[in-house]
């Protein structure tokens, strides 16, 4: 982030510009110091405002707000920075990257307001959330970071808003959507395993109509929305792709790999011809980029990858969960209501890395790698294996803000390697 550097050319703001630049620089090393320094910068900027607007008598922030004609939104933003700063200074509260960035963003809006009112701010700037080092693009989508949230583990994104700066994600692959609403499977749906979990949710979702009318309008301006879809026939996928060809949908991800439903999903993902049919039917029905999500429950994943690439897939995502099972030895029954479930989490990472590497040798389209990523070093393995972006699934349950930590640490890792952008890491495995 380099949002305040424009202040260097504006000597009239000398009394607060250095504080703003220092606050942003502190973000790299300590979020707590960043929040404290935002508070210092804010005070300096307010002092400048008092001095400039001689008619405003010194008083509290709210008198100033009233007299200077702030809008309520800006007043709330300043209030947020003040309270956070006080908490950091007096109570030594610890702050997350998301909170520190929010303080910086609010300070930035204040400085923009000042510059619009007193300076010559003809072209207002927008706050750049991403580090340039992590910015990239995929299938025409601009990504602030190459880190997605994986489908089924992040709801519709909004549920994570208080833990995650959604703008800082490459995008959210929302929970799988089907033509009609689904209740999902009965009985136990989730069980923990050594280094992972088994699930058999069974694609519970409200259906495409509710998604389009109620959910999409709420989330579309907050993130790149990738809609994961599943159907029971080739026509279902085509209809879903057509219905979702609307503003606010960044891409469609075809889930041809769900191991937990009887009527569809995985049967398309384990047969090359079926996988190709579904892909070309979806491609013909939409102008959106089509991502095809591959199943690891096959003998040779590269065959399916080649088939869907030839059928027009714009991107591949892999891997979905591996079919697994657990038995309760006291009842002699399966733990899960569906008997079998999909294994995800740390345990599957080596398999996922291997598959991403194999697929990256077999196709030219970009790959979103996923499966057991818990840290930036896990993510780096996927990039080295050939992924252009990664998605985080099960780890979100253990640590809801994990995607932000991975972004922070990935940036540090790239710097430590002397790289200027994430693209320089993709496919650089020495083998």
Of 78-86, 96-104, 109-117, 194-202, the segment contacting ligand FMN by CB under 6 A is 194-202
Cis peptide bond upstream of 319, omega within 30 = yes
CA–CA separation, 139 and 254 (whole Å): 15
Rounded Cα–Cα distance for residues 400 and 161 (Å): 10
- Quote the CA–CA distance of 147 and 228 in Å, as a whole number: 16
Stretch that binds ligand FMN, among 131-139, 392-400, 402-410, 420-428 (CB under 6 A): 392-400
Least distance from ligand FMN to the Cβ atom of residue 116, Å: 43
Least distance to ligand FMN, CB of residue 254, Å: 9
Q: Is the separation of the CB atoms in 387 and 379 below 8 Å?
A: no
- Evaluate whether 260 touches 188 at the Cβ level (below 8 Å): no
Residue from 394, 404, 407, 414 that binds ligand FMN (CB under 6 A)? 394
Per rule CB under 6 A, is residue 348 in the interface with ligand FMN? yes
Q: How far is the CB of 134 from ligand FMN (least distance, A)?
A: 19
Cα distance between residue 266 and residue 254, in whole Å: 11
* Nearest residue to ligand FMN, scored by beta-carbon proximity: 152
Strands 171-177, 225-229: pairing kind: parallel
Q: What residues between 112 and 151 interact with ligand FMN by CB under 6 A?
A: 150-151
- Under the binding rule (CB under 6 A), the answer on residue 373 touching ligand FMN is yes
Nearer to ligand FMN, 106 or 403 (CB): 403
CB within 8 Å of 134: residues ≥ 6 apart? 144, 145, 146, 147, 407, 410, 411, 414, 421, 422
Number of residues that bind ligand FMN (CB under 6 A): 27
Each residue 5-34 as x (binds ligand FMN by CB under 6 A) or -, in order, gives: ------------------------------
Phi, psi of 131 (to 5 degrees): -75, 135
Give the one residue of 36, 175, 277, 288 binding ligand FMN; rule: CB under 6 A: 175
Smaller CB separation from ligand FMN, 184 or 248:
184
Stretch that binds ligand FMN, among 86-94, 102-110, 118-126, 386-394 (CB under 6 A): 386-394
Q: Note the helical H segments in 311-374.
A: 349-362
> Given the complex with ligand FMN, which of 258 and 305 has the nearer CB atom?
258
- Residue 178: CB minimum distance to ligand FMN, A: 10
DSSP-derived secondary structure letter, 213: I
- Cα–Cα distance for residue pair 285/292, rounded to 1 Å: 15
320 binds ligand FMN (CB under 6 A): yes
Q: Give me the DSSP letters along 136-170.
A: EEETTEEESSSEEEPTTSSTTSGGGTTTS-GGGSS
Least distance in Å: CB of 376 to ligand FMN?
A: 14
372 binds ligand FMN (CB under 6 A): yes
- From the candidates 20, 103, 258, 315, which is the catalytic residue? 258
Q: Measured from the CB atom, is 111 or 258 closer to ligand FMN?
A: 258
393 binds ligand FMN (CB under 6 A): yes
Q: Which residue has the tokens 């699934």?
A: 393
Burial of 215 (0-12, 13-18, 19+ CB in 10 A): buried
Q: Is 20 a catalytic residue?
A: no
Q: Binding marks (x or -) toward ligand FMN, 226..265, rule CB under 6 A?
A: --x--------------------------x--x-------
Q: At what angle do helices 14-26 and 31-52 cross, to 10 degrees?
A: 170
- Alpha carbon 22 to its chain centroid, in Å, reads 28
Q: Which listed residue (135, 153, 338, 403) binds ligand FMN by CB under 6 A?
A: 153
Q: List strands edge to edge, sheet with 340-344.
A: 190-193, 196-199, 340-344, 322-325
Tell whether residue 345 is a contact of ligand FMN (CB under 6 A).
Answer: yes
> What 3-state DSSP class applies to 62?
helix
Contact status, residue 90 vs residue 72, Cβ threshold 8 Å: no
Asked if 74 and 110 count as a contact pair (C-beta separation under 8 A), the reply is: yes
Q: How far out from the chain centre does Cα 370 lie? A: 13
Closer to ligand FMN at the Cβ: 88 or 343? 343
- Taking CB under 6 A as the binding criterion, the range among 23-31, 235-243, 244-252, 366-374 that sits at the site for ligand FMN is 366-374
Residue 293 in contact with ligand FMN, rule: CB under 6 A: yes
Which CB atom, from 105 or from 293, has the smaller least distance to ligand FMN? 293
By CB under 6 A, name the binding residues for ligand FMN. 150-153, 175-176, 197, 199, 201, 203, 228, 255, 258, 293, 320-321, 344-345, 348, 370-373, 392-395
Q: Which of the residues are catalytic?
A: 258
């Amino acid at each position: 982030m380099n949002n305040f550097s424009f202040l260097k050319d504006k000597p009239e703001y000398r009394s607060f510009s250095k504080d703003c630049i220092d606050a942003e620089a502190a973000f790299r090393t300590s979020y707590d110091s960043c929040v404290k320094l935002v508070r210092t910068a804010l005070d300096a900027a307010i002092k400048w405002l008092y001095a400039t607007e001689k008619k405003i008598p010194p008083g509290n922030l709210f008198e100033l707000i009233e007299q200077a004609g702030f809008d309520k939104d800006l007043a709330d933003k300043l209030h947020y920075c003040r309270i956070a700063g006080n908490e950091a200074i007096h109570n030594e509260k610890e702050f997350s990257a998301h909170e520190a960035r929010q303080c910086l963003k609010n300070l930035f809006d204040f400085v923009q307001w000042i510059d619009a009112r007193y300076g010559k701010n003809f072209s207002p700037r927008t706050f750049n959330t991403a580090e340039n080092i992590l910015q990239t693009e995929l299938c025409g989508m601009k990504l602030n970071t190459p880190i997605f949230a994986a489908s089924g583990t992040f709801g519709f994104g909004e549920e994570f808003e208080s833990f995650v700066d959604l703008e800082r994600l490459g995008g959210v692959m929302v929970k799988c959507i089907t033509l009609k609403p689904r209740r999902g499977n009965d009985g136990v749906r989730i069980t923990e395993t050594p280094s992972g979990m088994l699930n058999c949710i069974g694609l519970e979702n409200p259906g495409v109509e509710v998604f389009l009318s109620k959910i999409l309008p709420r989330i579309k301006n907050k993130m790149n929305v990738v809609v994961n879809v599943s159907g029971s026939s080739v026509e279902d996928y085509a209809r879903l792709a057509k219905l979702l060809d609307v503003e606010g949908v960044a891409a469609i991800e075809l889930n041809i790999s769900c191991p937990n439903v009887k009527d569809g999903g995985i049967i398309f993902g384990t047969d090359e011809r079926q996988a190709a049919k579904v892909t070309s039917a979806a491609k013909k029905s939409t102008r959106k980029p089509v991502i095809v999500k591959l199943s690891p429950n096959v003998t040779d994943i590269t065959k399916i990858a080649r088939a869907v690439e030839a059928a027009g897939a714009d991107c591949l995502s892999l891997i979905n969960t591996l079919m697994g099972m657990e038995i309760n030895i006291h009842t002699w029954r399966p733990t899960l209501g569906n008997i079998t479930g999909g294994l995800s989490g740390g345990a599957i990472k080596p398999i996922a890395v291997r598959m991403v590497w194999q697929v990256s040798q077999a196709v030219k389209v970009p790959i979103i790698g996923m499966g057991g990523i818990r840290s930036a070093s896990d993510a780096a393995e996927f990039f080295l294996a050939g992924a252009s972006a990664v998605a985080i699934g099960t780890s979100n349950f253990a640590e809801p803000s994990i995607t932000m930590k991975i972004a922070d640490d990935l940036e540090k890792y790239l710097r430590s390697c002397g790289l200027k952008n994430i693209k320089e890491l993709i496919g650089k495995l020495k083998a």
